[in-house]
Structure 1
Amino acid sequence: MTPAETGTIFDGTFWITSGAILLLLVFSGFFSGSETALTAASRGKLRVRADRGDKGAGRALSITDDNERLIGSVLLGNNLVNILAASLATALFTRLFGESGVALATLVMTLLVLVFAEVLPKTYAITRPEAAAALVSGPIKLVILVFSPIVSAVRAFTRLVLRLFGIETDPHSQILAVREEIAGAISLGHSEGAVEKEDRDRLLGALDLGERTVEEIMLHRRQIEMIDADKDVTEVLEQALASPHTRLPVFRGEPENIVGVIHAKDLSRAMYAAGAPARDAGHAENFGNFNIMDVAMEPYFVPETTTLDDQMRNFLKRHTHFALVVDEYGALQGLITLEDILEEIVGEITDEFDALGLEQELKKLSDGSYTVDGAMTIRDLNRATDWSLPDDEANTVAGLVIHEAQMIPNEGQVFSFHGFRFEVQRRVDNRIARLKIRPL
């Protein structure tokens, strides 16, 4: 190649084209890094930065509200600059090397785009997603505004094509709900050792309050201790003092007919006051005219379908800790307390008056298996053992076995399902009282 030819090739057009290719590579890197930063940035962290006065973080939040429009605009810009850069490079290399320049341009542009327009900007963005998202939010907002008509047309066409295949899309829905995203992050943190099991259980328990109902954790009516309103008042006092519970439902005639709720402290005070005149006169206390209903509180009934989150709010609003659960026909199903709901977050709360603690409900044997009280909830068992038995069809372990067996098993029967072996150790009437469980 003569000097004259060389000078002709490396003219102003060559340098302008080379500069344009480099500029387009910069734009490509900007679009690639922006896409990674805006999709990888935590909306929670962006919210914190925005609340502290970071305007870029606030713009990033508003941009990511519509991920479909964001991704469409960024991909459109990225493809435009990449295709244009490749076309210019092909023309330039063809001019320099003839027909072989096409292959050379493809190789060179692939390396340049891969390193400088993809890997490098995306690596930077993924290491500092929130800072990068705030930094690029201004230019990207302008890009979205410019490309909005084209992106809208592409979105409409895409939805039309998907509809032809029977797929409906919701443009306002997020890929993952916020609650699911948080729960997933907590579970991932636990699996990686960053979150302790107790912390995971408490956090997930709090998140689950809106998804669970009082029916799932209530004390069944069979286990409720009640007071007969027609009993002698001294017998009522003795029962209240002997009970581990401070609040007891009062029924008249039959247990279904709840007429009030007695607080042991209110009962003791009222009876002490009723016997004061007799004691002052030096006579034996006389409670003949004492009426237990004078100190009974009005019963508070809640439907069994109430969520735990709503019920906790109701307890706080009514300044009470005790409610009776009824079904759609008004029949008594059980009772629930504020402590029951709190236990779903912090785990089992026991004191010196609790008759049955977790250590009595669940015992680990030397062979790695467990003996479990049939009335223990599946959720409590999973939390104690870190298992994942399903609780969709039943609330208790006994209920799960009956559901899977489609019968009420006899003592000694063995079943295997969900990766576990269940052996019925004790049955009382139609109730499974004790089981032995081990993983298969």
Structure 2
Amino acid sequence: MSWLEMLDSTFWITTAAILCLLLLSAFFSGSETALTAASRGKLRAQADKGSGGAERALKVTEDGEKLIGAILLGNNVANILSASLATALLSRLFGANGVAIATLVMTTLVLIFAEVLPKTYAITAPETAAARVARPIGWLIAALSPIVALVRLLVRGLLMLFGVRTDPDSHVLSLREEIVGALSLGHSEGTMQKEDRDRLLGALDLSDRTVEEIMTHRSKIAMIDADAPPDRVLSEVLASPHTRLPLYRGERENIVGIIHAKDLLRATERFLRSGDGKLDSVSDLDILSVAKKPYFVPETTPLDEQMREFLKRRTHFALVVDEYGDLRGLITLEDIIEEIVGEITDEFDIDAEHPLKRGEGGDFILDGGMTIRDFNRATEYSLPDDEANTVAGLVIHEAQMIPNEGQVFSFHGFRFEILQRKDNRITRLKVRPL
């Protein structure tokens, strides 16, 4: 049979069918890449702006197992059928050599035009491509759903034989982990500033942290004796850099009220106007009548929940207690906000010695009360904060003792030298990586 006789209508119909199947395979490959690589967050943003394609893309990607099953089924049918037709066609033309030629030709065509080219296009603009292919892919899923369901049952049954159980509603990464990973990747690639990354990570971490981790310890709380003369209370409030101060009676843990500087000044002004106008008469002022009722919170309260409570109550100040009701410290709304935006200072803050200094030899000199989280954020290190909140607390935990000045410890890849100790507290350390 001559070549001209072989190039009959069957040849051209088969060739056209192979080309159509290759186009169909390219569509499936590109759709798979687009719908799996597209960000659901970006699709949601586009859908909120009125994009119907983005809305359909969100819908078809809700069940990833069904989506992948339908696309792979269609793609494999197209590839296998096209390869079979090519083998039959080229075997007719070249005889026994047709199988080898068909394998070479179809591998090249499938690799270039049905895999690499459509996937490359889809990965360059996954959200746009996903919006475009969502409608036909939705039809495909609906048409192949019975077969896909059968394949899914078969696959799960085989996996169960090996002790693997699948949950279609579970995700490999949670939304929070995806965001954290994206922020870290953006910072490492230089597309995001460290400060921006820290602020966003700080906001994400609020639900995982408790008030105990950032509260001001009770030993550092400035308090006022409620039984002190009113004129002395007034002087102490005016001399304090804080606007809110706890009032105690008898023992420091017996908090009976919270005095606000503005409330005290207003009460003093009214008292003077209604009296003889002399400052000495302030000694008759009832301080507790000016104070507000103290607000106590458990030390295990998550920071995001505590922030919502502050906003709901329209207060910025709370006292922290443990499970027995004993005073542990205090926390303010500013403390929580500082976990997001960093240290906030104003003209009334005490200009104390900086808690962290960089030494000449690459080491860090820091205050023992500095939190591990603040140290990590400032230095880009990763000291663990599971067992302690402060750097000094971490040293004591690892050393299983209260170290003396001059002692040196090495753990977690760092060298810790005790510079100062006051009573049972480590007040100054030198830290450097090993």
Work out whether the TM-score is over 0.5. Answer: yes
2:308 is the counterpart of 1:298: no
- Report the residue type matching 2:215 in the other structure: M
Distance, in Å, in 1 between the alignment partners of 2:163 and 2:424 is 49
Q: Deviation digits for residues 270-321 of structure 1, max 9, x if unmatched?
A: 23332345434xx662244322110110111111222211111111111111
Give the CA deviation at 1:6: 2.2
The Cα offsets for residues 163-194 of structure 1, whole Å up to 9 and x where unpaired, read as 33333322112222222212211111111111
**1:99 aligned residue:** 96
What TM-score comes out, normalization by structure 2 length? 0.96
Judge conservation of contact 2:375–2:381 (CA < 8 Å) in 1. Answer: yes
Aligned to 2:392: 398
- Structure 1 residues 230 and 413 mapped into 2: Cα distance closer, same or farther (>3 Å)? same
- Segments of structure 1 that go 5 or more residues without pairing to the other structure are none
- 1:318 aligned residue: 313
Q: Does 1:23 align with 2:6?
A: no
* Matching of residue 11 in structure 1 with residue 8 in structure 2: yes
1:133-184 Cα shifts (integer Å, max 9, x gaps): 0110011001111121222222233333333333332211222222221221
Distance (whole Å) between structure 2 residues aligned to residue 284 and residue 85 of structure 1:
100
C-alpha distance in structure 1 between counterparts of 2:165 and 2:323, whole Å: 36
Comparing 24-33 with 86-95, which one deviates more in the overlay? 86-95
TM-score (norm 1): 0.94
The aligned counterpart of 2:409 is 415
Moved more, 7-16 or 337-346: 7-16
Q: Superposed, which structure 2 residues align to 1:84-233 within 5 Å? A: 84-233=81-230
Q: Give secondary structure in 2 for the equivalent of 1:172.
A: coil
Q: Which amino acid is 1:38 matched to?
A: L
Whether the 8 Å contact between 1:186 and 1:200 is mirrored in structure 2 is yes
Structure 1 residue 50 and structure 2 residue 47: aligned? yes
- List per-residue Cα deviations over 1:193-242 (Å, max 9, x = no partner): 11111111111111222222111111111111111112222221222122
Identity of aligned residues (%): 68
Question: Would you say the 8 A contact 1:276–1:285 is kept in 2?
Answer: no
Secondary structure at 1:255 match in 2: strand
Contact 1:378 1:396 in 2 (8 A): yes
> Does structure 1 residue 254 correspond to structure 2 residue 248?
no
Which one of 419, 423, 426 corresponds to residue 429 of structure 1?
423
1:371-407 residue CA offsets vs partner (Å, 9 max, x unmatched):
0111101111111122222222221111122222232
Q: Secondary structure at the match of 2:336?
A: helix
What residue number does 2:349 align with?
354
Question: Please, which of 314, 328, 332 is the counterpart of residue 337 of structure 1?
Answer: 332
Q: Which amino acid aligns with 2:358?
A: K
d(CA) in 2 for partners of 1:354 and 1:166? 61
* Cα distance change, pair 130–243 in 1 and its aligned pair in 2 (3 A): same
Q: Distance in 2 between matches of 1:327 and 1:264?
A: 28
The residue number in structure 1 matching 2:357 is 363
1:58–1:416 distance in 2 versus 1, CA, 3 Å: same
Kept after mapping to 1: 8 A contact 2:368/2:392 = yes
Distance 1:30 1:398, change over 3 A: same
Contact kept, 8 Å, 1:89 with 1:105, in 2: the verdict is: yes
Q: Distance in 2 between matches of 1:355 and 1:116?
A: 69
- Residue 71 (1) aligns with residue 65 (2): no
For 2:159, give the aligned amino acid.
L
Number of residue pairs matched by the alignment = 434
Distance 1:284 1:354, change over 3 A: closer
Unpaired runs of at least 5, structure 2 = none
Q: C-alpha separation between the residues in 2 aligned to 1:168 and 1:16?
A: 46
- Distance in 2 of aligned mates of 1:432 and 1:167: 51
- The letter of the residue matching 2:419 is Q
- Of residues 422, 425, 438, the one that matches 2:432 is 438
SS of match in other structure, 1:132: helix
Structure 2 vs 1, CA of residues 104 and 438 (structure 1 numbering), >3 Å: closer, same or farther? same
Residue 383 (str. 1) matches residue 377 (str. 2): yes
Deviation of the 1:351 alpha carbon: 2.2
Report the Cα distance in structure 2 between the residues aligned to 1:222 and 1:30, rounded to whole angstroms: 68
For residues 171 and 382 of structure 2, the distance between their equivalents in structure 1, rounded to whole angstroms, comes to: 27
Task: Tell me whether 150-159 or 178-187 shows the greater mean CA deviation.
Answer: 150-159
Change in 2 beyond 3 A, CA 1:311/1:131? same
Question: Is the 8 Å Cα contact of residues 189 and 195 (structure 1) preserved in structure 2?
Answer: yes
How far apart are the structure 2 equivalents of 1:101 and 1:84? Answer: 16
Q: Does the alignment pair 1:36 with 2:33?
A: yes
- Aligned partner letter, 1:86: A
Aligned 8 A contact 1:219 1:334 in 2: yes
Give the alignment partner of residue 309 of structure 1, picking from 287, 290, 304. Answer: 304
Q: 1:284 to 1:192 in 2, by over 3 A?
A: closer
- C-alpha contact (below 8 Å) 1:90/1:101 kept by paired residues: yes
Residue among 323, 328, 342 paired with 2:323: 328
